């Protein structure tokens, strides 16, 4: 038969109350903690999570909802969040919304039925109505990477508009005046980064034709097709800014396939998110780098504060991004 808390009490000579306090995350005397941990190991004791959750009303499980698990940013973010939560004794339930608002709303209800203690959400929706069931159930939610209307919860992100403006300004400082963009017209991040692109152009007194502005979705295929179209223009741009990793990957593939153009001699490229791409291709890419690990740490920190009873007003926390230098931008005379 599996060991019980009474077996640990018999082994250590400590009271059931002391052992229960330790097993439920409470503080006990250091010498008692050593005794309990030794007995747990010796007796191969395993916590009955179902029984414990009935007492504590906590499952020590966190739900994470992402808009697309295939996205490189989301994969990296999930890795860091899982690592941090594991260190803190929490399990993780991951839900993929597959870029569907309907699926996203279903995921929230699914996690509530699983009695998660809290949720971290990288959303598809631009409106927070799908989070109403979580609010009604008093389950805390932290948003990541993007904010939304009517969201009364913490949000961890970068300042996408300012970050994009600074990136495009670098191209302008290298004397580029014909600057194209490949971005999303659907996701919050793409929309904000497009605004930053426009801010930089306006600040420099530059205008660009509509043919330079490729606004679709954050997908590798869209980056690939958009770059193909840009390279075919009679008056083609001298630089292109891609606003997420998948778009960057697709655009670079298109340039590499071209027999007539290469980077940076014929086209300068500035991408987003420092994943594997910038480490394996030449020339080395200039990339906007989001602090993915730090965003994961801050999201977990804020969520655990809420779970543990912090009821202060919700916060919008902007993390600092930076530009990783490379060789993919040519300075024009």
Could you give all domains of the chain from N- to C-terminal order, each with its CATH number?
A: 5-47 (no CATH), 61-158+292-318 (3.40.50.2300), 160-290 (3.40.50.2300)
Q: Can you tell me whether residue 257 is helix, strand or coil?
A: helix
Distance CA 93, CA 118 (A): 11
> Going residue by residue through the chain (333 aa), what tens digit of pLDDT does each one get?
677 888 888 888 888 888 878 877 678 888 888 888 888 888 777 766 555 554 556 778 999 999 999 888 999 999 999 999 998 889 999 999 999 999 999 999 999 999 999 999 999 998 899 999 999 999 999 999 988 878 889 999 999 999 999 999 999 999 999 999 999 998 889 999 999 999 999 999 999 999 999 999 989 999 999 999 999 999 999 999 999 999 999 999 999 999 888 999 999 999 998 777 666 677 889 999 999 999 999 999 999 999 998 888 888 999 999 999 999 999 997
How do residues 287-312 score in pLDDT, each as one tens digit?
999 999 999 999 999 999 999 988 88
Q: Can you tell me whether residue 309 is helix, strand or coil?
A: coil
Q: Which residues contact 67 (CB under 8 A, 6 or more apart)?
A: 74, 97, 99, 104, 122, 123, 124, 187
How do residues 127-171 score in pLDDT, each as one tens digit?
899 999 999 999 999 999 988 878 889 999 999 999 999 999 999
Indicate if the alpha-carbon torsion angle 201, 258, 276, 331 is positive or negative. negative
Q: What is the pTM of this model?
A: 0.81
């Amino acid at each position: 038969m599996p060991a019980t808390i009474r077996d640990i009490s018999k082994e250590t000579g400590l009271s059931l109350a002391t052992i229960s306090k330790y097993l439920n995350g409470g503080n006990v005397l250091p010498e008692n903690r050593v005794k309990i941990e030794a007995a747990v190991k010796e007796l191969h004791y395993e916590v009955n999570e179902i029984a414990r959750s009935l007492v504590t009303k906590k499952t020590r499980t966190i739900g994470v909802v992402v808009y697309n698990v295939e996205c490189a940013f989301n994969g990296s973010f999930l890795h860091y969040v899982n690592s941090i939560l594991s260190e803190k004794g929490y399990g993780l339930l991951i839900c993929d919304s597959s870029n569907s608002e309907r699926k996203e709303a279903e995921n929230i209800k699914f996690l509530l039925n699983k009695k998660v203690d809290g949720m971290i959400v990288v959303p598809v929706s631009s409106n927070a109505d799908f989070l109403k069931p979580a609010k009604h159930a008093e389950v805390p939610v932290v948003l990541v990477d993007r904010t939304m209307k009517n969201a009364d919860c913490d949000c961890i992100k970068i300042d996408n508009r300012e970050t994009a403006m600074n990136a495009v300004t670098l191209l302008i400082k290298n004397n580029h005046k014909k600057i194209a963009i490949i971005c999303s017209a659907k996701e919050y991040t793409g929309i904000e980064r497009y605004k930053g692109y426009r801010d930089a152009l306006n600040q420099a007194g530059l205008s660009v034709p509509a043919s330079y502005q490729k606004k679709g979705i954050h997908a590798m295929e869209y980056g690939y097709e958009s770059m193909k179209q840009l390279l075919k223009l009679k008056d083609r741009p001298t630089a292109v800014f891609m606003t997420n990793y998948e778009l960057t990957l697709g655009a670079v593939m298109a340039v590499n396939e071209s027999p007539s153009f290469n980077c940076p001699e014929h086209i300068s490229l500035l991408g987003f998110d420092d994943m594997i791409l910038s480490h394996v291709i030449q020339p080395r890419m200039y990339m906007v780098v989001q602090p993915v690990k730090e965003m994961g740490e801050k999201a977990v920190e804020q969520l655990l504060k809420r779970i543990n009873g912090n009821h202060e007003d919700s916060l919008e926390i902007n993390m600092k991004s930076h530009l990783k230098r490379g060789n993919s931008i040519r300075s024009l005379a």
